[in-house]
Structure 1
Amino acid sequence: MARILIVDDAKFMRTTLHTILSKDNHEIVGEAENGEEAVSLFKNTKPDLVIMDITMPIMNGMDAMKEIKKFDENAQIVVCSAMGHQKVVVDAIELGAKDFIVKPFDEHRVLETVERVLSYITS
């Protein structure tokens, strides 16, 4: 079981991820609808994993990831975005994202990705 922070500007996406992850016994420590909230919540909750959208108002996912990595270089972040463009994914990985999920996603793919990233932490 991991402590997870969900970041997405769409309430529907946060709810969907919350449901998928909760069913798999993960603890959702917070939900943010923009990058600024994500950075603040990360600092307050220190989650094991962050699932982060890229395109959001106020502060996008890439900028939020940079801020989180400044605060904790070992932060585990999975990028979740409808923009399946290769360049965006490559940029996210270069910034330190551990993996990515392309929307629309299915439950199996989300859980598979979360388990893979969490296994990096424990090994």
Structure 2
Amino acid sequence: MKPKILVVDPVQSLRGILRKIIITMGYDVLEAANGAEAIHTYQANFPILTTMDLNMPDMTGIDVIRKIREFDPAANIMMCSALEQKTMIIEAIQAGAKEFVSKPFQEHNMKETMLKLLIV
């Protein structure tokens, strides 16, 4: 069984782009379209990496990070968002995100960031 990466984003087309990248890297993909789904999927699978959008319909990515880290303080989470407000990036890192990738992203930048987090 391959290690799993969880992609959390309300936009299905973006989840599809990330799914293709992750599959080419040799990992299985889990998907969630909102915060509640992300928390449930994380708890059921404990993926080795989670990509998290900042804005979702039910809660912010920062809130989801905090909830995931309550039951898994070692969670490996990276933010992936179009919002580049410095305060939001700082807040995400303080909540437990290990990296921040801006949308739209280049495929090689996304792979490089993911691999960096998977090696650590």
- Does the residue aligned with 1:65 lie in a helix, a strand or coil? helix
Q: How many residues align?
A: 119
| Aligned residue in 1 for 2:7 | 6
Unaligned runs of 5+ in 1: none
- Deviation of 1:2 after TM superposition, in Å, equals 4.0
| Aligned residue in 2 for 1:18 | 19
CA separation in 2, counterparts of 1:59 and 1:93? Answer: 17
CA separation in 2, counterparts of 1:67 and 1:38? Answer: 10
**Structure 1 residues 84-123: aligned runs within 5 Å:** 84-120=84-120
Under a length normalisation based on structure 2, what TM-score does the superposition of the two structures give? 0.95
Unaligned runs of 5+ in 2: none
| Aligned residue in 2 for 1:47 | 47
| Aligned residue in 2 for 1:27 | 28
- Does the residue aligned with 1:4 lie in a helix, a strand or coil? strand
Find runs of 4+ consecutive structure 1 residues off by over 3 angstroms: none
CA separation in 2, counterparts of 1:112 and 1:55? Answer: 23
Identity %, equivalent residues = 37
- Does the residue aligned with 2:57 lie in a helix, a strand or coil? coil
CA separation in 2, counterparts of 1:55 and 1:90? Answer: 15
Give the partner amino acid of 2:64: A
What do you get for the CA RMSD once the two structures are aligned? Answer: 1.0
